[in-house]
Amino acid sequence: MHTRSYSLTGTIGVVLAVVLSVFFVVMAVDAATTISTDISTGGTLDVTGATTLSSTLAVTGHSTLTTASTTAASVSATGIGAFAVASTTPDETVSIGGDVSIGSSATTTVFVDSTAATTGGCFQMRGSNGILYRAYLVATTTASEGVVASWQIEAGMCQ
């Protein structure tokens, strides 16, 4: 049995070796990767592109959500009972611990609505005396003026 060996020397051999090496490195790096264990970092973890988390995301400390979009950024929370801003113990479906500032460059609109036919929106505030007050609109119809709405403010809770 005769064994033959071939070798490429000179420029052609070096070029072919470099091309094959680069090809195998690109294939290894560019392959889809799944990490099946925990990732721990002492610095910043930067993820670019679309990312899907299929389990619990726990954030301890300050968290910033930003978008590169020219449209408004949004945060969506589904499948949870309550969403809190500046609070770890929400007492309502959406709970904000602190002051709220609402503004825009056009007409600023706050829309308070109810899906019940005879129940309208209601604002509930605590007075300086510690008593809860509710404020809502009462619509009445008169023959001379048609439908007229007036504010009703009284002690009590909206619900």
Q: pLDDT digit string (tens) for 45-87?
A: 777 777 777 777 776 666 666 656 656 555 666 666 677 777 7
Please determine, for residue 28, whether its predicted confidence score (pLDDT) is greater than 70: no
Please report whether residue 121 resides in a domain: yes
Please report whether residue 133 resides in a domain: yes
pLDDT tens-place string over residues 112-156: 777 775 667 888 999 999 999 999 888 888 888 888 888 999 999
Please report whether residue 35 resides in a domain: no
- Going by C-beta distance under 8 Å and a sequence separation of 6 or more, which residues neighbour residue 39? 45
Please report whether residue 82 resides in a domain: no
Please report whether residue 120 resides in a domain: yes
pLDDT at 84 (0 to 100) = 73
Say if CB 110 and CB 121 are below 8 A apart: no
Please report whether residue 128 resides in a domain: yes
Q: How many C-beta atoms surround the C-beta of residue 84 within 10 A? A: 17
Number of domains making up the chain: 1
Would you say how long the chain is, in residues? Answer: 159
Please report whether residue 131 resides in a domain: yes
Task: Report H helices in the chain.
Answer: 11-30
Domain ranges, residue 138: 114-142
